[in-house]
Structure 1
Amino acid sequence: MGASAESAKTVHAVVRKRDGRLVDFEPGCVAKAIDKAFRAELNLADQQPLDSAIREDIDSIVGQVAEVATDRDAVEPVTVEQIQDVVEIGLMRREHFRVARRYILYRTEHARIRAIRGEDSRLDSLSIPPRQEQRLFVELEPGVRVPFDTQRIVRFLKNCDAASRPEVNVDEIVGEVVRGAFDGMTPDDVTRATVLSARSRIERDPAYDQLAAELQLSIIYRHALGRTQFSTDFESFYRDRFEHYVIEGIRGGRLSDDLRGFDLARIAEALTPQRDRGFRYLGLQTIYDRYLLHLEGRRIETPQYFWMRVAMGLAINEPGESKTDRAIEFYDLLSSMRFTSATPTLFNSGTPYPQLSSCYLTTVQDDLDHIFKSIGDNARLSKWAGGLGNDWTNIRATGSIIKGTNGESQGVIPFLKIVNDAAVAVNQGGKRKGAVCAYLEPWHLDFIEFLDLRKNTGDDRRRTHDMHTAAWIPDLFMRRLIDGGNWTLFSPDEVPDLHDIYGQLFKERYEHYEAEAAAGRLRQSRTMPAVDLWRKLLTRTFETGHPWVTFKDPSNIRSPQDHAGVVHSSNLCTEILLNTGEDETAVCNLGSVNLGRHIVDGQLDQSLLRSTIETAMRMLDNVIDINYYPTAEAKNANLRHRPVGLGMMGYQDALSALNLPIASEEAVAFADQSMEAISYYAIHASAKLAQERGRYESYSGSKWNRGLLPIDTLELLERERGEAIDVDRSSTMDWEIVRESIARYGMRNSNCLAIAPTATISTIVGCSQSIEPTYKQLYSKSNLSGEFTQTNFLLIDELKSRGLWNPEILDALKYYDGVLGEIEQLPGEIKQRYATAFEIDPSWLIRAASRRQKWIDQGQSLNLYLSAPSGKAIDAMYRLAWSMGLKTTYYLRSLAATQIEKSTVDVNRHGIQPRWMKSQSQSSAIRVDRGDRTPAAVCSLDDPDCEACQ
């Protein structure tokens, strides 16, 4: 017998038997029982010696039992069941799973025999805690049940690093789990209960988020590895299991057989299991629910397997032995969370159907066959997690003549209703809702009815409650609006060229058609003050969140591909601006740099950023050749033009790391300089890829080919508009190097840059969303994984460092709905730096966006926020966006009618209602159409419907 067991002999303790008797604790009996279990499993006779390693493990387990038996703080003597629990856990932690299973089955069978004999009835007379009297059992697997034991939960939690932090109250969590326990719980049920308990306390301190993440990891590990992170030699086991995961995934039809072509031993060695601990709880919960591959509900991936699967899928076409090197390079970038590919890539990379692209843009032709082909294409694209942007301006208006039947058209609205219903019917691979946005130009005769599509009143057959809408506005309309002029609406079949032209040419042809209409030579037209149409548009945007306001002319005039077609619309999230046509469905492949991870020692680390972007651009370019294309038109367009959209997220995190308020000149300058750096390295990387792989097919004649970079195209926009665009044109980098590289090698990609919303991928990596300001410091976030309380951990950490974080501040933060402005205990400097989206003037966001736009060849998903919307404020906001050269805007966000749950807040301490809430409730909605009694709607932040891009 080893040292541990020998020392245990000297300990005096008592054990409560099942019949209530107290007997002396005998370590030798425990050792003998474990010894028999091993011999039974290994089929060894009593005289045959056990392996020395097994003997050491037995001694170690006996030593642990002795510690429990001699616990001086224990109120009651240790029971036989508790001793057996320690033995069972000890066997599993030392990876003797088959022996542990035999031991569990032995216990279960004997418990059944005792129940039949009625032996356990004697427990009724013992002094046992109430929950134990109920004899709840945990079902480890079908037919294998062990008693529910509070101490086991305590011991499990004590293994978690976060549980040892002083901010965490383990007793509260355990008590809550015990109160909610039920007979037949699985180990996952127990762990989920602890997760939910920790999650409900995240608002108190980031330590609870860390604890919830550790507990969620244990669930993932139990699924994928068959053990938790608390077992011995976990990291080596983690790596060793990778090849088994690949084989299991291929056999189960979840992974591509091409993954066998990598050096799996090197791949496994490159895994960094510690990086699993870099996730916040919500990120882990999100990938668990929707991203980790599973077989019959059991996750077969860990977080690092997930990142490596994505990386391998993106490296699958890399040549020869470099394939494994590139996969490791891609993995290192993804797992360090400096860059993240978009959701479709994360869903499908490395799988048998690698549909990796994010966005699809189509133009619907004025032909019944093509209309329904486009609806079918929408369904196919949506099935593989694509977000859709449809241009419907070609379709003739209501009342137009149908030549074949000599009847009258019902216009575009009935077809949009079908598109809406198809998006609901075909969700995105069962992982998120189907999502589509319809675009229409405001000279279309059906545009007024188009504005009403999202209303909650009126004929429901002419409403699209689940589809997004956007107005594709030409500069001429904005000019008429500013000048107080009239605006004329036409049917596209009578003005067929307006859809495909822009700038001065559009102005000339539009005025020609106005003259034709005035002379009575057009069958259908309608003239109205431009301001009346604008007012109705803004009213609907405020009330329903739609249509989004996007601008046709800057999107086309500044497009690098003006020689190869026309940009007819943007995409679902208003950042993609690519040509579309009857034979081309525009496709964009997205990913985002986590800007906050590139702030090092108080400044933007240019070297790190360059390294990130060069690898990221290679990954994005690889998508084009690997991609599974649901339609021929998508494949045709993507292979011809090879567009990608590198964006950013973590912008607010970067400002926080630099101690800059988002509403400041310094922040606007940083938006300019950081976007310049991203643009510089991305465009240069594409030129380098062209040197290695060749330029894209339609390069000849492009703006790149003509020596025009995005910064140069502002002058073209000014020339077409005939007025100056008030945007700073300065730069900080040597662009001649990039220009020379393009002139020599060309470009690999027609488009390089687009800033997407990143609603989901920013959640996964735990950074602030896209270019968004902080929504609130404390709020409830909704996505398809559920409702989650979110707090700004950077704020809490700073308040803690200043000794300002306490229950009273938390209480005030809840009362003021996550806004610091009226919390008197906090310094003004903190309030300024941590000002939230509704506390700042939207002009700051527009100015920062205009400085970014000068460097971007596509667009940016720009949300705008108003705490007290009025017609005048909304009008001024969108006019400013247009005048500063923005190509698109996204949601107009108003404050929700319901705020943070205040059931735990003492309202008597703070008053009846915050002043800023009173001002909000007193602000009036815009009302133009007096017949509309729809209550003012609110666009909820992070609506699950809006996650399609990333």
Structure 2
Amino acid sequence: MTQTFTPTTPRPAGTTDEPAQPGSGAPHGMTVLRRTGTTAPFDAGRISVALTKAFLAVEGESAGRSSRLRAQVIELTDAVTATLARRYGADSGSAPGRPIDLEEVQDQVELALMRSGDAAVARAYILYREEHRRARSEASELPAGESVTGAAGFQVLGLDGTCTPLDLARLEALVTEACDGLPDTDAATVLAATRDNLYDGITTRELGLAPIMAARALVETEPAYTTVAARLLNDTMRAEALSFLSGRPEQADAGEMAERYAPYFRAFVARGIECGQLDPTLAEFDLDRLGDALLPERDGQFTFLGLQTLYDRYFLHSDGTRYELPQAFFMRVAMGLAVREIDREARAIEFYRLLSSFDFMASTPTLFNAGTTRPQLSSCFLTTVDDDLDDIFQSIKNNALLAKFSGGLGNDWTPVRGIGAHIKGTNGLSSGVVPFLKIANDTAVAVNQGGKRKGAVCAYLETWHVDIEEFLDLRRNTGDERRRTHDMNTANWIPDEFMRRVESGASWTLFSPDEVPDLHDLVGTAFSERYAEYEAAADRGEMRVFRRVAALDLWRKMLTSLFETGHPWITFKDPCNLRSPQQHVGVVHSSNLCTEITLNTRSGAEAETAVCNLGSVNLAAHVTADGLDVERLRRTVTTAVRMLDNVIDINMYTVPSARRSNLRHRPIGLGLMGFADALYAQGIAYASDAAVEFADTSMEQLSYFAIAASSDLAAERGRYGSFEGSLWSRGILPIDSVEILADSRGGDLDQDRTQRLDWDALRQRVISQGMRNSNVMAIAPTATISNIIGVAQSIEPTYRNLFVKSNMSGDFTVVNAALVAVLKERGLWDEVMVADLKYFDGSLWPIDRIPDDVKQLFATAFEIDGSWLVRAASRRQKWIDQAQSLNLYVAAPNGRKLDEIYRLAWRTGCKTTYYLRSTSATHVEKSTLRGTDGRLNAVSATPVAAPAPVAVVPVPAPVAAPIAQERPVRSEAELAEAEALACSIENPDCEACQ
């Protein structure tokens, strides 16, 4: 049984509040800042004593005579001292001579114990620190009637340079209000921790941050503190916005905002128009009616991560000062989407209530730009690049224009002739498609969407293109840099004929598209027949450029590249086309940046740039322990489809081909998020038949309601322009198009066809009323909007049960609240459990006292076999007219495993796959999360830059090998950028569809 330090144990020198005594001197000129505020010379001997007593507490007094223990203590002491010297020593480049906080010394001692592999000793040390932290907090509490902050008489330095007395009563009331209604939170604990950050002369900004920092440091022990931190952040935001609008310092607590939100909202709209940021049309709304409809209490439902993300990246600001508050933000978006409605106030209120309830969230471009003077609201753009120099560079220019206002791009480069092809105009030979991809890559880097996030583009190439093998190498870190695109995503566009030849062990022929131009537009059986004719022509010597390879060898190269670089992704041409409702007007030549959009594109004089307008239903908000709330889902989907359809008419189009296509076909992409949370609510493990079944039934309901809503809009507003001749017009719904794919494959399709709802009635409804939108559904990654509402992204399994999420807004402790609730019910949530979760990177399997059923329920992404994700995706895909962003997780990838999982995706009818994520060969050092959460930018006018991409060399299996890393806990950026082969789970550079 693990022992812990007891109050009667002599205090280790590394953990005492007493002054450190000079020993052999202070190496490197370092000093220690004690809790009393005084400093003392650093003494490594005290660390040695602390480490020794930590071992003795666990291993017993006899261990003190062990030479092994003494040698280990010396080694660990040296490691701690060396780390502190690098940071604070005289030779340090970052902070030479700055005193070391006592907590930092203790963090390093704890970290050294964890890194050494002595889990029991590290756990005892953590518990000892926690015990004494609580003791100090209790000792600091003053008698009733006195301030718990102990800061009476402190002065606060305002922005104008004047000082005012610290308002202790308001601070205590603010923290108490933030904890109100949240079980297992304690205002006194937050206030006690706040006191440690207060001092005479504290600035207004620092005073606002102090309680936020105190609350967020407690998240690891109680998830509800993330809501406390968010509510406290709301206070600083209110002060910033109200002061800006009034021109004088103002504050308001949550209760006061019930009266102040409506007048604030009117002032907000007026100032936004004055600043040239809001569309003047918004002033024509009945602002009194809309202001009265605001629900101030919904400010209190955010997590800290969600609200901080909105603050940093979404709220309107003037020279860095945010003047948009959460409910004004949702109403601004709602007004922007309702501006062309007949009763626009009623619709704006309807849209506002849906957004602010978190039942549905529009995509990031819509949230960024709705209601503004530049309403580029669409999410994704797909283009085809023609084999013509003018068109190539026009396409690259269009990429820049589309990316400027937050669009994610998918480019079809297949028509561009390959290496060695003849160029008639110069009588020379082509250099192939790669040099142009390099230019497109650099353009995406240059256009960074106003600093909000980088431009993002994905290039697609069909598998028969003669440059395919060079295409596979684009993301490699070796070779000619002029033929590498390190910032561009890439994807294989694979016809079924190639997969059949892989399975049969046949050969495969590569062609230059200028000699086989019709292959680009052929699919299914027509493609296979024409492809065989071109192979015969090559055998007769009628082709100038071609090359024959073994299909299986090329497939292996694809998987090897995917494993080593994360690219190109595996996507399937025929399922995307044969099941497309729009196959009568063109061909789907690629997907988009995130592989969920499958729309027609064309180049030339009648060029069409496909556009999709995205939003996602929060599935977690529509389930209970008893299952899906069908009526609530129907209401949400009906309103959401209307909102997305409105985007098409309101949207600002930066290129004519996008406007032409969007107004003609009117596609939207309604998706979902919070799938893992919905499973937790029902007690369903992700790796189970029940989860696969729920994926099927929930998507069937969503599909039914989405199609019905679009059909009803057609009855109200008219059918989309190219409706006649579509699958819709023939009564062929997405579930019916599965048979078209099966027929093309000769019945060789392992996809479930079960139906539960009255689809016959809906077919007749669609035939008679038509459809307002050519495409209705697509499941996007939702990396950012899921953060905003505090649920698991998209259809993803939980990544870790405890980790630090890193994104452009900073680092945030994330705890699986559903897990904590279950552990509390079973009496298992305590400091030891927190320590164990940190030590084991959020995994439950190594923790013996957790029951197996809990481990199964809360298995994380790399603990779930990837076949479960594919099976669930296949069930969803039968209901979706577009596709889904399907990430695949493989803990220890090898050729055989990757081959199996990607062939399974093809055989079960999946249209596309997204990132392949794998575990890393390294483990990052771990210690307490308390106080080490990283950046906090809540009242900073300067945005934090996105972390630089991490180049990773993958290995087939994880090994326990520490690396030199000064971060005190495995963050999500480290776990995802180091473990994913290509990008992090929450990658700020890859959010154009979110």
Mapping of 1:141-156 within 5 angstroms?
141-146=159-164, 156=174
**Deviation at 1:940?**
2.1
Name the CA shift for 1:614/1:175 in 2 (closer, same or farther; >3 Å).
Answer: closer
CA distance in 1, matches of 2:957, 2:979: 18
Asked whether 1:201 is paired with 2:201, we answer no
Asked whether 1:247 is paired with 2:247, we answer no
**Which residue matches 2:338?**
315
CA distance in 2, matches of 1:577, 1:905: 42
Letter in 2 for 1:627: N
| 1:683-715: CA deviation from partner (whole Å, max 9, x where unpaired) | 011110000000000001000111111111111
Letter in 2 for 1:220: M
**Which residue matches 2:301?**
278
**Which residue matches 2:367?**
346
**Which residue matches 2:101?**
none
Name the CA shift for 1:142/1:842 in 2 (closer, same or farther; >3 Å).
Answer: same
**Which residue matches 1:356?**
377
CA distance in 2, matches of 1:158, 1:855: 48
Instruction: Give the one of 815, 820, 834 matched to 2:844.
Output: 820
Name the CA shift for 1:778/1:231 in 2 (closer, same or farther; >3 Å).
Answer: closer
CA distance in 2, matches of 1:72, 1:669: 57
Name the CA shift for 1:779/1:76 in 2 (closer, same or farther; >3 Å).
Answer: closer
Asked whether 1:624 is paired with 2:624, we answer no
**Which residue matches 2:800?**
776
**Which residue matches 1:834?**
858
**Which residue matches 2:285?**
262
Asked whether 1:499 is paired with 2:520, we answer yes
**Which residue matches 1:31?**
none
Question: What SS class does the counterpart of residue 164 from structure 2 fall into?
Answer: strand
**Which residue matches 1:639?**
663
**Deviation at 1:180?**
7.9
CA contact (8 A) 2:573 2:911 kept: yes
> Which segment is superposed worse, 386-395 or 518-527?
518-527
Mapping of 1:173-192 within 5 angstroms?
175=193, 178-179=196-197, 186-192=203-209
| 1:714-755: CA deviation from partner (whole Å, max 9, x where unpaired) | 111111111331222111111122112111111100000100
CA contact (8 A) 1:695 1:749 kept: yes
Mapping of 1:88-167 within 5 angstroms?
138-146=156-164, 156-161=174-179, 167=185
**Which residue matches 1:875?**
899
CA contact (8 A) 2:148 2:191 kept: no
Mapping of 1:388-399 within 5 angstroms?
388-399=409-420
Name the CA shift for 1:337/1:688 in 2 (closer, same or farther; >3 Å).
Answer: same
**Deviation at 1:935?**
12
Asked whether 1:574 is paired with 2:612, we answer no
CA contact (8 A) 2:175 2:191 kept: no
Tell me the TM-score normalized by structure 2: 0.78
Question: What SS class does the counterpart of residue 225 from structure 1 fall into?
Answer: helix
| 1:809-856: CA deviation from partner (whole Å, max 9, x where unpaired) | 111111111111121111111111111111111111111111111110
CA distance in 1, matches of 2:367, 2:795: 21
Asked whether 1:740 is paired with 2:761, we answer no
**Deviation at 1:156?**
4.6
Question: What SS class does the counterpart of residue 429 from structure 1 fall into?
Answer: helix
CA distance in 1, matches of 2:704, 2:147: 68
CA distance in 2, matches of 1:411, 1:377: 21
CA distance in 2, matches of 1:169, 1:608: 35
CA contact (8 A) 1:892 1:939 kept: no
CA distance in 1, matches of 2:482, 2:685: 47
Asked whether 1:800 is paired with 2:850, we answer no
Question: What SS class does the counterpart of residue 143 from structure 1 fall into?
Answer: coil
Name the CA shift for 1:181/1:435 in 2 (closer, same or farther; >3 Å).
Answer: farther
Name the CA shift for 1:231/1:394 in 2 (closer, same or farther; >3 Å).
Answer: closer
Mapping of 1:58-97 within 5 angstroms?
82=153
CA contact (8 A) 1:817 1:899 kept: no
Question: What SS class does the counterpart of residue 493 from structure 2 fall into?
Answer: strand
Asked whether 1:548 is paired with 2:572, we answer no
**Deviation at 1:905?**
10
Letter in 1 for 2:453: R
Name the CA shift for 1:222/1:901 in 2 (closer, same or farther; >3 Å).
Answer: farther
CA distance in 2, matches of 1:602, 1:450: 49
**Which residue matches 1:717?**
741
CA distance in 1, matches of 2:354, 2:773: 21
Tell me the TM-score normalized by structure 1: 0.81
**Which residue matches 1:29?**
none
CA distance in 2, matches of 1:233, 1:716: 60
**Deviation at 1:201?**
2.9
Mapping of 1:667-816 within 5 angstroms?
667-816=691-840
CA distance in 2, matches of 1:193, 1:419: 46
Question: What SS class does the counterpart of residue 755 from structure 1 fall into?
Answer: coil
CA contact (8 A) 1:814 1:900 kept: no
Instruction: Give the one of 838, 862, 867 matched to 1:843.
Output: 867
CA distance in 2, matches of 1:937, 1:815: 23
Asked whether 1:384 is paired with 2:405, we answer yes
CA distance in 1, matches of 2:168, 2:637: 50
CA contact (8 A) 1:653 1:767 kept: yes
Name the CA shift for 1:177/1:286 in 2 (closer, same or farther; >3 Å).
Answer: farther
Instruction: Give the one of 554, 559, 565 matched to 1:533.
Output: 554
Question: What SS class does the counterpart of residue 406 from structure 2 fall into?
Answer: coil
CA distance in 2, matches of 1:401, 1:665: 55
Q: How much is the aligned-residue C-alpha RMSD, in angstroms?
A: 2.5
**Which residue matches 2:959?**
921
**Deviation at 1:76?**
13
Instruction: Give the one of 479, 495, 498 matched to 1:477.
Output: 498
- Equivalences, count: 804
Question: What SS class does the counterpart of residue 358 from structure 2 fall into?
Answer: coil
CA contact (8 A) 2:624 2:682 kept: no
**Deviation at 1:172?**
7.0
| 1:108-138: CA deviation from partner (whole Å, max 9, x where unpaired) | xxxxxxxxxxxxxxxxxxxxxxxx7xxxx63
Question: What SS class does the counterpart of residue 835 from structure 1 fall into?
Answer: coil
CA distance in 2, matches of 1:890, 1:786: 26
Asked whether 1:947 is paired with 2:964, we answer no
CA contact (8 A) 2:148 2:192 kept: no
**Deviation at 1:175?**
4.9
> Which segment is superposed worse, 465-474 or 214-223?
214-223
CA distance in 2, matches of 1:290, 1:244: 22
CA contact (8 A) 1:641 1:749 kept: yes
**Which residue matches 2:584?**
563
Name the CA shift for 1:716/1:180 in 2 (closer, same or farther; >3 Å).
Answer: same
Name the CA shift for 1:237/1:490 in 2 (closer, same or farther; >3 Å).
Answer: same
Is the radius of gyration larger for structure 1 or structure 2? 1
CA contact (8 A) 1:402 1:408 kept: yes
Name the CA shift for 1:598/1:75 in 2 (closer, same or farther; >3 Å).
Answer: closer
Instruction: Give the one of 318, 324, 340 matched to 1:295.
Output: 318
Letter in 1 for 2:562: T
CA distance in 1, matches of 2:882, 2:156: 56
CA contact (8 A) 2:384 2:602 kept: yes
CA contact (8 A) 2:254 2:296 kept: no
Question: What SS class does the counterpart of residue 517 from structure 2 fall into?
Answer: coil
CA distance in 2, matches of 1:692, 1:186: 57
CA contact (8 A) 1:382 1:434 kept: yes
**Deviation at 1:362?**
0.3
**Which residue matches 2:241?**
224
Letter in 1 for 2:567: H
**Deviation at 1:786?**
2.0
> Which segment is superposed worse, 729-738 or 328-337?
729-738
Instruction: Give the one of 211, 225, 230 matched to 2:228.
Output: 211
| 1:190-242: CA deviation from partner (whole Å, max 9, x where unpaired) | 22243234323311211321221111111111122244442763311112211
Letter in 1 for 2:988: P
